[in-house]
Structure 1
Amino acid sequence: MRSTIWHVPDGMTSAKAEKEANRQAALFEEKLKTGMALYDGNTTFGEYAEQWVKNHQCAGKTKDGYQELMKRIQPALGHIRLSKLQPHHLEAFYQNLAEKGINQRGNYAISEKLPLLLKAEHLTYDKLAAASGISSFTVSTAVHGKHVSFQTAQKISKALKKPVEAVFTLHKNENPLSANCIMHYHRLISAILSKAEQEQLVVRNVARLAEKPRVIHKEAAYLDDEQAKQFLSLILEEPDIRIKSALLLLLFTGMRREELCGLSWSDLDESSQLVHIYRSSQYRPHMGELEGPTKNPSSVRAIKIPLFVVQTLKEYHAWWTSQQIAFGKEWQGKLQRLFIQENGSPINPDTINYWLEKFLRKHNFPHITPHSLRHTFATLNISNGVDIRTLQSLTGHAQASTLVNTYSHAIKSRQAAACDALEEVLTGNLAAEKQA
């Protein structure tokens, strides 16, 4: 049961008091519906934070990220009363995140014994998947000696009725979380406390007073002119038409990988050589691949691509159509997505990373990510004289300032070239006058 008290101001008539009491009751009921009337002086930060994450309007993947951050925030700060939370509590939490061994992300398990164990137990991938409660694809990944999570290793080992150490070799990451990662925790805590401050549940947002992690700005990883030319020449020799098409689009459009996975054939305008970006595709645990909006309204855009890329996409469409015919009634490509699994289902955006890693290993090319190709697109455009506003319309950034901060290396290079050009104009004239 929850209740609230409203005191009738002195001098208010009975009729007005009744009317205002009804209004206050309606407001209180609305707060109950949204979970915001559950708090009093004994409310803990964890209770309030849980409701904030639940009710906050944001993209599904963003909410997944918040819930992942809460797994560390709750044990450390959740028990503290909201009104008693102090800057030193947050600073101690940030220091703990910076300790060695706290980072679980680099942990992985790998097994060379699984093929023999499956053979001895007469188990197929599907049977082990059913017994483990994981997908057949994940089982296949583990059987082929690739990295899997500790949780996956535990599920497989439990299904085989063996200790996890008897099946897998566990590799633990002893590194701390990066300062940039710790900043994600700080920003979430600050957003939660800002809402509490707005609702007058706390006097102030103590996150603003806490010493924040010091993030060292790093230049975006990108390919320079020569590396980009070499990368392109290797792409053009790629026999896998899916990988070839995906990497060409990333290099010549600078789109995000989620936007790439959201492309449908109707988004291509071959006659105008345009790629239209209207949506993104995201993967969410237990829900699979989901269609969603672009990162921001500015990300809805059209980008022109070279004619030879259009021709490559035509070749890719022929392969795509052959797959559709081969699968017949089993075809799952109703959304007409460009980049698909063998049966036409949309791919997980992580597949783009896998394709790129496979491509880089084959050619012994330096490590880059799909986002590095986005940085390459932006950097090469700036270096070749494209202004920030035009580039913003191509990359879909919400703020031009983001481009200025991220690509300062290329902008400084252009500034230096502009200064050299001015020097040439002015001193060249002086030299000509002296000679005259």
Structure 2
Amino acid sequence: MANITKRKNKDGSTAYLIRVYVDETGTGHQIVKSMTWKPKPGMRPSAEEKELNIQSTLFEEQVKQGLTAFGGSTRFSDYAKEWIENESLAFKTKERYTEMLERINAAIGHIRLDKLQAHHLEAFYKNLAEAGVNHRGSYAVSEKLDALMKKQKLTRAALAMQAGVAAITISSAARGKHISSEKAAAICKALGKPVDAVFTIHMSDTGLSDKTILHHHRLISAILAKAKRERLVPFNVAAEHATAPKAAHKEAKYLDDEQAHTLLTLLLNEPDIRVKAALILLLFSGARRGELCGLSWPDIDFERHLINIERASQYQSGKGVVEKSTKNESSIRSIKIPAFVVELLGAYRAWWNKQKLLYGESWHGEKERLFVQADGKPINPDTINYWMNRFLEQHQLEHITPHGLRHTFATLQIAAGVDIRTLQARTGHAQASTLVNIYSHAIKSAQEAASDALEDILLPPTDKSKGKTS
């Protein structure tokens, strides 16, 4: 409980000394943290008392959280660092925010929280759209990596571990495929070679996309929202005053029914049963890539034709493949799948069991993940992208991502007349409004088809022409 002492200043005004005692070292030795609060001139006694209680409670909470070092004069970069270290964020989200903050702090990190203005942010957003800013748009290509690995007797898995990147990244780079400049630098650091000795870097001359700029704005706004709640600033300049970047709505990329039929026909003839099972299951379940890789055999109900989504897999730099919770609580769900997919999974399980017998004591499939490496270890979710890209290239099909199959699942379900609430339960979206926003075109087409269907049912063919105007 905060200790409050009322004081009279020489000019006759009132001030309050708020003190909080805290054990910062855990040794039992308490130290005092204090602040002074001055009520505004002319405040009514009741309003003054109410605000004093708010200020003392807020200060006590800040002391407990170690935030008393901050005030309105704190630089944005210092407060942002504290925010990202203490905010509850998923691993990948924190990784992405840390990368975004490098750009943000370079532009506005030196500015005090209470001095940050809308024009600072708007100038920053404009700069992000300028040519040459998009470093992630640059890529690296190597014709030497494969030979260099053989010379140093390095396996792809070993180099991936040393570089802190996914094994699939090493595989792609060794085959002369494009990888990011950042990952190329990490690989070369592990090899002890300069980047230009192994890779050719192709620089991007574009700015960031409207959507990415909007993500920067939202991150700044989230940080300032907490500063406002802690009364370090009187308002959130990003949310309340700056003009937010606009990102045009884009329809999700998906396959139409004919394209999906072609893909399925080719997949049914795919010799690699892992690829066949994984991509067909994505198409008929609408599962996210990480959810697919998180499936274990006990999650498959062969009798009731259900798959139960309860977890996800994720690759984390320095840790490898780890298990994580689903994207949200709504993502924990059961999905009905067709009988032929259940039969395919049965055939795939037979292959899986043969692999287990073949490897014997060297088998690492303790978690019984469906999709595994040859020795039973869980696959990196990026492997699904690798399988799909290779399959599409082999058959000269238009490029689409594994997440595009999720969009295809949802779009075809809408076209088939599945209502939004049912689809939400199948896809695991937290809110039905998200589905409406993503699949607005498909919903509109379905509504038009429904209107035509009602006309066909209720209006005889001879009356249709009468109802039309010339």
Shift of 1:36: 2.3
> Which runs of 5 or more residues in structure 1 are unaligned?
13-19
2:312 equivalent in structure 1: 280
CA distance in 2, matches of 1:380, 1:338: 26
Shift of 1:227: 0.9
Deviation string for 1:78-117 (max 9, x for gaps)? 1110111111111111111111111122322222234555
Alpha-carbon contact 1:193-1:206 (below 8 Å) kept: yes
SS at match of 2:131: coil
SS at match of 1:261: helix
1:70 equivalent in structure 2: 101
When structure 1 is superposed on structure 2, of 220-229 and 284-293 the one drifting more is 284-293
Change in CA separation of 1:130 and 1:347 when aligned onto 2, cut-off 3 Å: closer
CA distance in 2, matches of 1:291, 1:107: 31
Change in CA separation of 1:304 and 1:117 when aligned onto 2, cut-off 3 Å: closer
Change in CA separation of 1:389 and 1:151 when aligned onto 2, cut-off 3 Å: closer
Matches within 5 A, 1:46-195: 46-115=77-146, 122-125=151-154, 129=159, 133=163, 137=167, 141-154=172-185, 157=188, 163-195=194-226
CA distance in 1, matches of 2:420, 2:56: 52
Question: Which of 10, 35, 50 is 1:5 aligned to?
Answer: 35
Change in CA separation of 1:336 and 1:25 when aligned onto 2, cut-off 3 Å: same
Amino acid at match of 1:394: R
Question: Which of 309, 312, 316 is 2:341 aligned to?
Answer: 309
CA distance in 2, matches of 1:111, 1:381: 42
Question: Which of 351, 370, 380 is 1:338 aligned to?
Answer: 370
Shift of 1:258: 0.9
> Which runs of 5 or more residues in structure 2 are unaligned?
1-30, 40-44, 46-51
Shift of 1:310: 0.9
Shift of 1:287: 1.7
Alpha-carbon contact 2:72-2:233 (below 8 Å) kept: no
Alpha-carbon contact 1:76-1:93 (below 8 Å) kept: yes
Amino acid at match of 1:245: A
Shift of 1:410: 1.6
When structure 1 is superposed on structure 2, of 253-262 and 165-174 the one drifting more is 165-174
Equivalenced residue count is 423
Indicate yes or no: 2:456 matched with 1:420: no
CA distance in 2, matches of 1:379, 1:197: 41
Change in CA separation of 1:2 and 1:386 when aligned onto 2, cut-off 3 Å: same
Amino acid at match of 1:360: L
CA distance in 2, matches of 1:313, 1:66: 38
Matches within 5 A, 1:213-224: 213-224=245-256
Change in CA separation of 1:102 and 1:328 when aligned onto 2, cut-off 3 Å: same
CA distance in 1, matches of 2:172, 2:384: 17
SS at match of 1:125: coil
2:300 equivalent in structure 1: 268
2:439 equivalent in structure 1: 407
Question: Which of 282, 285, 290 is 1:250 aligned to?
Answer: 282
Deviation string for 1:377-406 (max 9, x for gaps)? 111111111111111111111111111111
CA distance in 2, matches of 1:97, 1:422: 50
Change in CA separation of 1:312 and 1:156 when aligned onto 2, cut-off 3 Å: closer
Deviation string for 1:29-83 (max 9, x for gaps)? 6524423222123211111111111111232222222222112112111111011
Change in CA separation of 1:2 and 1:111 when aligned onto 2, cut-off 3 Å: farther
CA distance in 2, matches of 1:212, 1:8: 35
Indicate yes or no: 2:420 matched with 1:396: no
2:24 equivalent in structure 1: none
Alpha-carbon contact 2:214-2:244 (below 8 Å) kept: yes
CA distance in 2, matches of 1:270, 1:342: 24
CA distance in 1, matches of 2:341, 2:152: 45
Deviation string for 1:274-300 (max 9, x for gaps)? 001111111221122221111111111
When structure 1 is superposed on structure 2, of 61-70 and 81-90 the one drifting more is 61-70
CA distance in 1, matches of 2:449, 2:135: 45
Alpha-carbon contact 1:131-1:159 (below 8 Å) kept: no
CA distance in 2, matches of 1:63, 1:286: 15
Overall identity of the aligned pairs, in %: 55
Alpha-carbon contact 1:236-1:244 (below 8 Å) kept: yes
Shift of 1:330: 2.3
1:362 equivalent in structure 2: 394
1:326 equivalent in structure 2: 358
Change in CA separation of 1:27 and 1:93 when aligned onto 2, cut-off 3 Å: closer
CA distance in 2, matches of 1:193, 1:240: 51
Determine which structure has the larger strand proportion and give its number: 2
Asked which structure has the greater RCO (Cα within 8 Å, sep 6+), the reply is 1
CA distance in 1, matches of 2:436, 2:405: 18
Question: Which of 379, 399, 419 is 2:411 aligned to?
Answer: 379
Alpha-carbon contact 1:333-1:346 (below 8 Å) kept: yes
SS at match of 1:219: coil
Question: Which of 27, 31, 40 is 2:62 aligned to?
Answer: 31
SS at match of 1:51: helix
Amino acid at match of 1:302: S
Amino acid at match of 2:367: L
The two structures, once aligned, show a CA RMSD in angstroms of 3.1
Change in CA separation of 1:368 and 1:116 when aligned onto 2, cut-off 3 Å: closer
Alpha-carbon contact 1:2-1:38 (below 8 Å) kept: no
1:226 equivalent in structure 2: 258
Change in CA separation of 1:191 and 1:316 when aligned onto 2, cut-off 3 Å: same
CA distance in 2, matches of 1:131, 1:429: 69
Determine which structure has the larger helix proportion and give its number: 1
Change in CA separation of 1:157 and 1:397 when aligned onto 2, cut-off 3 Å: closer
